[in-house]
Amino acid sequence: MTATTSTERRHGLASAGETKFAALQAQLVGTHAGRIEIARRALTWADETFGTGLTVASSMGDEVLVHLVGTTLTGADVFFLDTGYHFAETIGTRDAYAAMLPIRLRTIHPRLTVAEQDAEHGSQLYARDPHLCCAMRKVEPLDRALSDRDAWVTGMRREDAPTRTDIAVVGWDARRRMVKVNPLAVWTSADVDRYAAEHEVFLNPLRQSGYTSIGCAPCTRPVSEGEDPRAGRWAGRDKVECGLHT
């Protein structure tokens, strides 16, 4: 299949994929090896089903996903949303993965630079209106990156947040009318740590400083022992998601 099939066909493929992977999940979800197998099979299925219509979203704070993609598929299309506010360590992680793995990396930029946004909306918009800032620097670029695709892959896990407890390995992105593949949906945090250790996954250096969920520098802080892993995102503000997955 090439990019872009009809919405009806995509929807049918999403339903078929959801059924297939719900059955596989019932068989394999009980072990670490089984959960890795689910992820690899989901990526292979998506690649075979959608071909050039498939793309992978990476924040470069989801290193295990990028490693899994690069070691399961050859020449996968992976895109990174460069908001202009990323930590230098995250940009370095992106560059390292582009050099280390057989992926085709796209870096997508917002329509406005940070300086242009400051001029139009005032400085530090993220502090005054993070929803608008995310809409311009993340959501619009994401929609653009996905505009000519049939399916996208994310690193979302059910354990990430109370808003994600029911995500499927293969599902339907109703807002964008495309297939959404979440290979790590049923992985635990222990699975991520074990996979990273066993495969010597290159990690964003911020991990060593207590950053368990990594986003833009102004909106991310390290978390303390025992805190929710995503507690460091938009800490103290009425915001838990950037809008990419809602």
Active-site residue set: 242
Among positions 190-229, residues that touch ligand SF4 (CB under 6 A) are: 215-216, 218-219
Cα–chain center distance at 79: 10
C-beta closer to ligand SF4: residue 35 or 245: 245
Alpha-helix residue ranges (DSSP H) falling in 87-227: 88-100, 114-121, 125-128, 130-134, 140-146, 189-198
The owner of tokens 């996979």 is: 195
Among positions 67-126, residues that touch ligand SF4 (CB under 6 A) are: 83, 85, 126
C-beta closer to ligand SF4: residue 36 or 134: 134
C-beta closer to ligand SF4: residue 35 or 233: 233
The CA distance from 241 to 181, in Å, is: 18
Binding mask 138-177 for ligand SF4 (x = CB under 6 A): x---------------------------------------
245 binds ligand SF4 (CB under 6 A): no
241 binds ligand SF4 (CB under 6 A): no
Whether the Cβ atoms of residue 194 and residue 162 lie closer than 8 Å to each other: no
* Type of residue at 169: V
The CA distance from 79 to 183, in Å, is: 16
Whether the Cβ atoms of residue 138 and residue 244 lie closer than 8 Å to each other: yes
C-beta closer to ligand SF4: residue 42 or 134: 134
Residue nearest ligand SF4, CB atom distance: 216
- 135's CB contacts (< 8 A; 6+ apart) are 243
One of 130, 141, 155, 183 touching ligand SF4 (CB under 6 A): 130
Question: Which stretches of the chain bind ligand SF4, using CB under 6 A?
Answer: 83, 85, 126, 130, 133-134, 137-138, 215-216, 218-219, 242
